Amino acid sequence: MVIPVSSLIEGNESIVADIANYTETPSAKMLPIIRMSALSGCNPGWASYLLCEHVFNGQQKIMVLGGGCSVATAQIAAFSHLFNLIQVSYSAASPQLSNKSEYPLFLRTQQSDLAQNIGRIAILKHFGWKRVATLYQNEKFFVMVIDDMIVKMRENDINLLASLSFNYHPSADLDILKEEDARIIVVHSYEDHARALFCEAYRQGMYGATYAWLIPGWYSDDWWKTEDSHINCTLDEMKKVLESVIETVQDSKGPDNVTNINGETYAEYEERYLNILSSRPEYKWVIPHMWHGLGYDAVWSMALALNASIDEVALGRTNDSHGSVRSKRLDDFTYTDSVMASIFRKSFYNVSFQGTSGRVWFNEHGDRIGRMAIYQILGDAPPVDEQRWTYEVISINETLSITVSILACLGIVMAAVFLGINIIYRDHGFIKLSSPRMNNIILSGAILVYLSIMPLGMTQSPFELSEYMRTISCIVGKWLLSVGFTLSFGSMFAKTWRVHRIFTNMKPNTTAMQDSLLVLFVCILSIFDIVLLTSWQVIDPCHVFRKELHINIAQDNTKTLYQTNSCSSQYVWYWLGALYGLKGLLLLFGCFLAHETRNIQVEGLNDSRQIGVSVYNIMVSCLVGVTLTLALENNPTLSFAFTSFPIFLCTSITIVMMFIPKIRVIVKDPKGGDYLRKRTREGLTVSSTMSDLNQQCAIAKSESKTTLHTNME
Ligand SMILES: NCCCC(=O)O
């Protein structure tokens, strides 16, 4: 970029007019301004060399335009003022350039990148991101921006997870960020470092809806496509990471429909600029960049400052080539003219015009006051700044819960009806022979077992229940099931034990075991239960807690932890082992009795067939139920189904098999007369006394086609 300053001065025209024509007359006749940006290539050493070349060789220059990169700009701005050169950059964004004691004659139409931090904080607050990490290239420029960002984060209650500098190999830094579970990462670096960073981020899977990378928006167009020996990612891979990128940058486009100082809207200006680039062979190498508008405005501000300086400069006196004294002109500037330099400087601070990038003016640091633009969130939804968890408690299906409760109630009603019949017809010969007292205990036990089903399901009930209620119901359920089982099967086996004793050990006149002895036997079994359950409750009480089932990760990376209420204690398996051991021994005893008495065919007296079927049901149900319950522990509904239905079925089958035949006999012969006659004919009388029972048993024994070979022999 060049400014034909001499035509302005000599023709006494407005410099504005010449500048406005600048883009159309690039081969201007004079080159009084040093253009630094494209020449320095962001190389501080090379930039220094070029400035010296311009100063010490060739035509006198009056100002420096550029450079583009802060690293090169800062390098020359540190000494360009020693030549009294005003330096105006249209692109250098480092905050260090705001330091007027180091860079007194430096100005820029580019904002300091500290302004980006205001935009970044706004973004963080907008999305409610409170956990943020920063990552920066190890250069003073980036360190300063990130330092300021950290201060602003602190002021806004945003937590800094980590602040790391990186080079071309950021893998260790990304490891740390992952350890910190950082998802929102503010990056400040040049684009070559950003390429290395995002390639590594791809390798480490740090992209997608989970991450947001906040980067400077001033990288060149398609910066991620640039061939780079530091990276080995494909364009598709790079693109994936870039979908998680948010860019913040100074808005270099003026507002729509506002005309600039040259009477053009931004669109008209840009069209003209692009036409010039494409129509002139000398610009074939120029890649259109967002900075052209700021460059255009920088040149305008130089022109305006120079124009505004003319009168004050003219107050100075100098000798012309003929030795006569005249007023100073702009082109009288020399590298030792600090007076003129300070006039120029003062003029710059008064510059205010509508540029192509918006209104242009400079603050006390020589920095542009401008607007911020935020570009693109390509992801579907903004990520979250930390792993967000939701919790869902899985309960038993409501329908199953209600169905099982209804079944349990029906079971209770059925057992109660059987119990009523058993009590009402206790003197019926057929009932009497089957030990009505023990039948009552069997049915009471069955009712307890039915009752246990509901509290067992209440632990994982879908209905609103307090934790206390769930804990209580879990404990009550265990007690009911355990004691009910013992009462039912204990009584059943006790009855069979008596039959077994009668048919194996009794001499004809020996007294049979009395009911009280059988009840005592059942009580002893129950005491084992009570002692065990009480010890369990006292030593290692059960409590309800949330058991983790599985985790589901949604598209927005929100994790849902599925839980269920579980009732357990620390040593639950030992207690269950002891409880199952007791019940197992009882069942084994029942199996043994059922087997021993299997051929005693005295109707109503011997339950061995029912016992056999019941024990078989229980064994199969326990095996299937326990296996499926363990296998389906992540599915409370199925797990409860495989617990409650077997309990219901085993209990129901057992009492139905026992009591339906009795009811059938009662229905056929309510008074028991036929039965009495039949048994009398057979020589087996029915009496209410134990001695009668002994007698009946003795007769039954003699009649029976028993095959108790071992015992009999
Ligand atoms: N506007 C580009 C910023 C780059 C730099 O200051 O070096």
625-639 per-position pLDDT tens digit: 777 767 777 788 888
Query: For strand 325-327 and strand 317-319, is the pairing parallel, antiparallel, or unpaired?
Result: antiparallel
CB of 20 closer than 6 A to ligand 1?
no
Q: Which pLDDT does position 205 carry in this prediction?
A: 93
Residue 263 CA to ligand 1 center (angstroms) comes to 29
pLDDT tens per residue across span 172-194: 999 999 999 999 999 999 999 99
Ligand 1 pocket, mutate which of 37, 90, 103, 110 (most atoms under 8 A from CB): 110
Helix (H, G, I), strand (E, B) or coil at 9: helix
Q: Does 539 score more than 70 pLDDT?
A: yes
CA of 94 to the centre of ligand 1 (A): 7
**What does the pLDDT look like over 213-266, one tens digit per residue?**
999 999 988 899 988 888 899 999 999 999 889 998 888 888 888 999 989 999
Output the average pLDDT for the chain.
83
CA distance 61 to 83: 10
How much distance in Å is there from the Cα of 218 to the middle of ligand 1? Answer: 7
In this prediction the ipTM stands at 0.98
The 10s digit of each residue's pLDDT in 220-229 is 888 999 888 8
Alpha-helical (H) ranges within 227-356 are: 235-242, 266-279, 292-314, 338-350
Q: What separation in Å is there between the alpha carbon of 128 and the centre of ligand 1?
A: 29
pLDDT of amino acid 10 = 29
Percentage with pLDDT > 70 across the chain? 83
40 lines ligand 1 (CB under 6 A): no
Q: What is the pLDDT of residue 335?
A: 94
Q: Does residue 77 line the site of ligand 1, with CB under 6 A? A: no
Indicate the burial class of 545 (C-beta count within 10 angstroms; 0-12, 13-18, 19 or more): middle
Of 40, 111, 143, 218, which is best to mutate to test ligand 1, by the most ligand atoms within 8 angstroms of its C-beta? 218
Atom number, ligand 1, closest to the C-alpha of residue 42: 7
For 560, phi and psi rounded to 5 degrees? -110, 125
pLDDT value at position 713?
27
137 C-beta closer than 6 A to ligand 1: no
Nearest atom (ligand 1) to Cα of 93? 6
Q: Residue 74: what pLDDT?
A: 94
Mutate to test the pocket of ligand 1, among 90, 94, 368 (most ligand atoms within 8 A of CB): 94
- Provide the sign of the torsion angle of the four alpha carbons 60, 65, 71, 72, taken in this order: negative
**CA–CA distance, 4 with 25 (Å, rounded to integer):** 9
Per-residue pLDDT band for 163 (boundaries 50, 70, 90) equals very high
Tell how far the Cα of 308 is from the centroid of ligand 1, in angstroms.
29
Are 608 and 597 spatial neighbours (Cβ–Cβ below 8 Å)?
yes
Kindly tell me the sign of the dihedral angle through the C-alpha atoms of 503, 505, 511, 514. Answer: negative
Of 623 and 422, more confident: 422
* Residue 354 predicted with pLDDT over 50: yes
Over residues 542-568, the mean pLDDT reads 83
Contact indicator for 135, 170 with CB cutoff of 8 Å: yes
pLDDT of residue 4: 38
Local confidence band at 200 (pLDDT 50, 70, 90 cut-offs):
very high
Which residue's CA is the closest to the ligand 1 atom numbered 1? 91
> Considering just the CA atoms, what is the radius of gyration of the chain in Å?
49
Whose CA is closest to 360, among 290, 305, 313, 312?
Answer: 305
Residue nearest atom 4 in ligand 1 by C-alpha distance? 69
* 111-131 average pLDDT score: 93
Confidence at residue 29, expressed as pLDDT on a 0 to 100 scale: 32
Quick one: which of 598, 617, 614, 610 has its CA closest to 499?
Answer: 598
Q: What is the mean predicted confidence (pLDDT) over 48-71?
A: 87
Q: Tell me phi and psi for residue 379, to 5 degrees.
A: -70, 170
Alpha carbon of 367 to ligand 1 centroid (Å): 13
CA of 366 to the centre of ligand 1 (A): 16
Ligand 1 pocket residue status of 115, Cβ below 6 Å: no
Q: What is the pLDDT of residues 419-476, one digit of tens each?
A: 999 999 888 877 887 888 889 999 999 999 999 998 888 888 888 888 888 889 989 9
pLDDT band at 701 (very low <50, low <70, confident <90, very high): low
Quick check: 157 pLDDT over 90? yes
Give me ligand 1 centre to Cα 240, in Å. Answer: 25
Range with lowest mean pLDDT among 50-64, 100-114, 656-670, 679-693: 679-693
Q: Considering the entire predicted model, what is its pTM? A: 0.59
**Predicted local confidence at residue 679, as pLDDT:** 58
Using the mean position of ligand 1's atoms as its centre, give its distance from the Cα of residue 42 in Å. Answer: 9
pLDDT at 154 over 90: yes
